[in-house]
Structures are given as C-alpha cells and as structure tokens.
C-alpha cells in the first residue's frame, strides 16, 4: 500500500513501520548505501552519459540527412533550435523532478516535449547520479517524515492517566 507521498506501509492493522519506496536501478539500497549502491550509481552515471553521447551521434546523422535532402537552411535551423530548446526544457524538468514530485497532469502534457528533448533528460540523470541516486534526496525526506509520523502514532504514554494526582 502506498500513500500520496509514495511511502509504502505494511498492510492495515499490522504494527509495521513504513518501508522505503524503491528507486529505479537502485531498489532500496539508497537507504543505507549498501548492497552495491556505489557501483550502481557509477553504472547509472556512465550508462546515462554513454546513452546521451550515442543519442547525439544519432541526432548528428539526422542533421546530415537534412543536409543531404537539401531542405534549406530555414528547416535545418528550425530543427536544430527545436532540439536544443526541448533538450534544455527536458533537462530542467527532469532536474526539478528529482527534488519534488511532478504533477501527473503536467507530466502527461509535457510527454512529447520530453521525448524530443531526451538528451537533456539523460544529461540531468548523469549529473545527478554523480552526487546521489537520482531522486534519493526527495525519497529520503519523505521516508524520514513517514518514520517520524509513525513514531508519533505508535508512541505510548507511560503510566495510567486515571491514577494521576489531581492538583488542588
């Protein structure tokens, strides 16, 4: 079961503590930085950079195809500017998504822009994975808040309140 923050709790009625939400490629290793967290982060970083470089090569072939087709300088400029702007916007959107949960409606409306600017998203993933698992800070804050809330809900008072002395 998962609430609006994404923190998974044990089934209703059981006294279990909240469980951390797994991250893509990292599972729940981000909680204690164990079970291969560092190699996974290195692999995610290198993988996203390699994919971004390969994507740029593919875009270069597309640009050369426009040159061969002799579509004109206006179309070539339009396509180049479109990919540059979409990549910049995708980078910013992806980077912001690591710090706060994105709005699902806005995410759906930006799906086309993010698909065109995929290089920006890959670069954002690369730069974030140099310091942490992408999304780790957000998930850690939510998990720690859920743990504190759980502790407040389950903490018990000591003693019997009916035996408390009354002040006169």
Question: pTM surpassing 0.75?
Answer: yes
Where does the pLDDT of residue 14 fall: very low under 50, low under 70, confident under 90, or very high at 90 and above? very low
d(CA 139, CA 145): 10
Please tell me the number of Cα atoms within 13 Å of 135 on its side-chain side. Answer: 21
Is 13's pLDDT higher than 60? no
DSSP-derived secondary structure for 10-65: PPTT--PPPBPPPBTTTBTTTTTT-SSHHHHHHHHHHHHHHHHHHHHHHHHHHHHH
pLDDT in tens, 96-135: 999 999 899 999 999 999 999 999 999 999 999 999 999 9
| Alpha-carbon distance values, 48 to 6, 52, 56, 73, 124 (Å) | 25, 6, 12, 32, 9
Asked if 118 and 83 count as a contact pair (C-beta separation under 8 A), the reply is no
pLDDT at position 151: 86
**Percentage of residues in the chain with pLDDT exceeding 90?**
70
d(CA 46, CA 52): 10
- Burial label, 86 (beta-carbon count in 10 A; 0-12, 13-18, 19+): buried
d(CA 60, CA 70): 15
């Amino acid at each position: 079961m998962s609430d609006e923050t994404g923190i998974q709790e044990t089934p209703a009625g059981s006294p279990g503590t909240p469980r951390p939400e797994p991250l893509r490629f990292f599972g729940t290793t981000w909680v204690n930085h164990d079970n291969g967290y560092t190699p996974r982060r290195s692999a995610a970083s290198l993988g996203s950079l390699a994919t971004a470089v390969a994507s740029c090569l593919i875009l270069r072939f597309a640009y050369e195809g426009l040159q061969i087709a002799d579509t004109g300088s206006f179309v070539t400029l339009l396509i180049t500017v479109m990919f540059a702007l979409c990549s910049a916007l995708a980078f910013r959107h992806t980077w912001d998504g690591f710090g706060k949960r994105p709005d699902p409606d806005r995410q759906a409306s930006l799906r086309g822009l993010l698909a065109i600017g995929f290089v920006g998203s890959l670069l954002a993933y690369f730069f974030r994975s140099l310091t942490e698992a992408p999304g780790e800070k957000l998930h850690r804050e939510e998990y720690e808040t859920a743990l504190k809330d759980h502790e407040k809900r389950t903490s018990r008072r000591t003693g019997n309140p009916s035996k408390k002395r009354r002040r006169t």
